[in-house]
Structure 1
Amino acid sequence: MGRRESLPEVKKYSGVEVRGKNIRIKFVWPKGAGKQQRITLKGMDVNDKNMKYAFNKVQSIKREIDLGVFEWSNHFPDHPLAKTELKANAGYTVADLLDDYLKEYARSRKEGITLDNYTYRAEQHLKPYIGDIPVNDFKTAHVVKWATQLGDKNVSRVTLKSYVAPLRAAFKWARQNGRISNNPFVDFEWPEETRAVKRKQAEKRKQKRLDVFNELEINALVKHCKREQEANIIQFGFWTGLRPEELFALHWEDIDLVSNTVLVNKAKIYRRGFKVIDYEVEEREEIKGVKTGELGEREVLLLPGALQAIQAQRQWTATMRKFVFHNPWWNKSWTNTNQFANRFKECCLSAGVRYRRPYMMRHTYASMMLKHGEDEGWVARQMGHVDTTMIRKVYREFIPDADHVNGYRLKNDWSISGTNN
């Protein structure tokens, strides 16, 4: 009987392991992505000679990866990544990459509105300019040139970043999955904005400054709205501090007239880039959770002004639809902030009140509560903030010097305010 051959010592062959009767090598690909690839070397017996061969192959692959010249097809022509690599070498374009990313990854992992926006930007902005460029030939210089041209047309950097977002995500995804060996966006820097763009941005910031309404203006607005349903949503917005998209998504089941509270747990978002035709809102609406990074779901106390608006709205929608507030022009729920802003502007003109964007209703609510001495912590919770940091940062000019109280009890009799006279 012959002597049994001992198995080779695996420890001395870094990157090589034995699995049953097979030798398997392992290495990290792509470089820096931290994803370990394991490849079984078929048809090789487990012995010292083959283990040494496998070890040398691993070292060769690692050197090529470090130099940026590694190609799957040179080492493992039957591997799925080699086929993807060959496809890229055969004319795999930026347009192809965007299509694969949106189809294989984004469709199952991105929110519907994000997927719609990515698709729209890819089709309308990216493919027409850089879609025909082979992925292997693509450089960020192509994006810089394109961004510079758009910047000369007064397109801001914020807008440009939204245009390029799906492209950056696609290259990152392809790099992590080994479809490409290099992500050109790693060291990417945006070109400097033109003076015209900077002036435009400064003007926008000026328009967004805290420019709240006073109680006389609120009452005048509500009184002079030509349609009662518009008056109701405006009065409710001023006396709850809900964001416009939260007002649009409000359902009657969220209203509790026993405890005088409203549950805020969703927002209605408009799918930008895709038109809503014939105001078929309920078929095309996007309902999602409230703003990320804040308190999320919350209960808001209905002050008398808000209660009055809800009671007045009951006759219009309580038995008709699930949404509380409707656009009276079509008797359907509100679609988006632009649609609402047009009606809000009309009410301002009728009342002789200087127009500010509808979001200022939320700022007005917070400033009004704080100015009259309501507790900062309570106001923060009503607004949906996790703490008072944002309250003190944004509304510090309205916060009086006063001791805070634990728990909460309204300091003012709000029943004398906010009524529709």
Structure 2
Amino acid sequence: MSKKNGPEPFFRPKKNRWYVEVGGKHVNLGPDEAQARVRWHQIMAGTPASSLIPGQLPDGVLVCRVIDLFVGWSHKHRPGRTAEWYQKHLQSFLDSLPDAATLTVDQLRRLHVTNWIDAHGNWGANHRRGAITAVQRAFTWAEREGHIAKSPVRGIEKPPAKRREQVLTIEEFQSLLARIKDPCFRDVLEFCWETGCRVQEIRLIEGRHLRFDRGRVEFPPEEAKGKKRWRFIYLTPRAEEIVRALVARHKVGVIFRNTDGKPWDAQNFNNRFCRLQHRFGREELKRRGFVLDPARVAEFAETLHPKKKVAGKTFPKAPNELLREARKKLTIKAAKKLGTKYALTTIRHSFATRLLEAGVDHITVAALMGHVDATMLSRVYSHVGEKTDFLRVELLRASGACAAGQVGAA
């Protein structure tokens, strides 16, 4: 383009930036050529150069565009599971927007997020808190990177995080195992109980990580949480027995697999614990002599879909079919309320408490669990402080030892 038609952007390789000369001064247009040309056209159209932020997307950028950029960045710079977590929540948020295809950042309001959260009344406090955090993180990242001038979703009130209070005794854990017939899932639970490993770690263990001569599993820094230091999972005799059998069966790839021979994922674990919750609930219903109210069953049956599909054809459901379906669904709902829902993190918490009650010091337990120091252990995992009977016994034991020492000195 000739000079009389206006200056054109030019690129400086050493600074990795596009510039344009305006009034004898070089204006920074940012590192991206496409965005640089958009800002150049804005300047040519009369927008003051001082109002343009290098790297910032043009006015009217779509919310979905910002989220796409953030998700793409997450997949490049964050662990896969973290990126998937962001993507899942952000896609759910976009799906909740009636005008997601045209909504711009300057039109986005905090109420869009709160309406999305309120529409999911079955989400717990921690789930709601995480969902809000995911949306805020995307726009905070966009602001920090210079894609937008300011995040429009700051200051949303989030529910306080709730600590998982479950801790299993040895007897309770044995009772849990007794209800599990699947040997693959039993291996997972027992290994977690014996070692206190993280959920994501058990999904990643391969034969190459096993060092039986050192009695441990070894993850190099690039595969460990935080990606800064080695992670060692020390093996008890039972834990070693489990992984020896598994590595003999799966010589290539991860060794903990489900009954289909596929690696476990978070949803697999959640489904198994949901089934256990239902089983616990049904046992409790039976113990209580639970009987469904026929009037409630009939009322609920009227709300069910009246038709069914068989071999691609649609047929009306018979009255007894609707009643049977209603009884089944109401029983499941009642069982879910009474059944206890566990998770692998419950077993990890129990590991920490069990060792602390056995007299192992905080620093050692923290090291066994893969923490840098004992801060996280004291704040999140240790439930010893909640057991007043245990603390009193420890006090009396310590007092007796001190008294004996004083008598001996006298």
Deviation at 1:289, TM superposition (A): 3.5
- Unaligned runs of 5+ residues in structure 2 are 1-16, 28-41, 284-338, 399-410
Once the two structures are superposed, the pairs formed by residues 7-406 of structure 1 within 5 Å of their partners are 72-73=43-44, 88=58, 92-99=61-68, 108-113=76-81, 116=84, 124-126=92-94, 128-129=98-99, 131-134=101-104, 138=106, 142-153=108-119, 154=121, 156-173=128-145, 176=146, 182-185=149-152, 188-190=154-156, 192=157, 205=162, 208-209=164-165, 211-265=166-220, 289-292=223-226, 296-314=229-247, 317-319=249-251, 321-328=252-259, 330-336=260-266, 338-344=267-273, 346=275, 349=279, 355-393=341-379, 394-395=381-382, 396-397=384-385
Deviation at 1:247, TM superposition (A): 0.7
Q: Deviations over 1:51-81 (max 9, x none)?
A: xxx7xx9xxxxxxxxxxxxx744789999x7
Distance 1:132 1:369, change over 3 A: same
Separation in 1, partners of 2:234, 2:187:
17
Greater CA drift, 218-227 or 371-380: 218-227
- TM-score normalised per structure 1: 0.55
Q: Which amino acid aligns with 2:185?
A: E
More helix by share: 2
CA contact (8 A) 1:326 1:332 kept: yes
CA contact (8 A) 1:226 1:347 kept: no
Q: Secondary structure at the match of 1:262?
A: strand
Q: Secondary structure at the match of 1:299?
A: strand
Separation in 2, partners of 1:299, 1:341:
26
CA contact (8 A) 1:264 1:298 kept: yes
Q: Which amino acid aligns with 1:226?
A: K
Separation in 1, partners of 2:203, 2:74:
27
- TM-score normalised per structure 2: 0.56
CA contact (8 A) 2:366 2:377 kept: yes
Instruction: Specify the alignment match of 1:22 in structure 2.
Output: none
Q: Secondary structure at the match of 2:233?
A: strand
CA contact (8 A) 2:67 2:138 kept: yes
Q: Deviations over 1:20-41 (max 9, x none)?
A: xxxxxxxxxxxxxxxx998767
Residues paired across the two proteins, number: 293
Deviation at 1:251, TM superposition (A): 0.9
Separation in 2, partners of 1:392, 1:358:
19
- Unaligned runs of 5+ residues in structure 1 are 1-35, 45-53, 58-70, 267-287, 404-421
Percent identical pairs in the alignment equals 20
Instruction: Specify the alignment match of 1:5 in structure 2.
Output: none
Q: CA RMSD in A?
A: 4.5
Q: Which amino acid aligns with 1:146?
A: H
Separation in 1, partners of 2:182, 2:150:
55
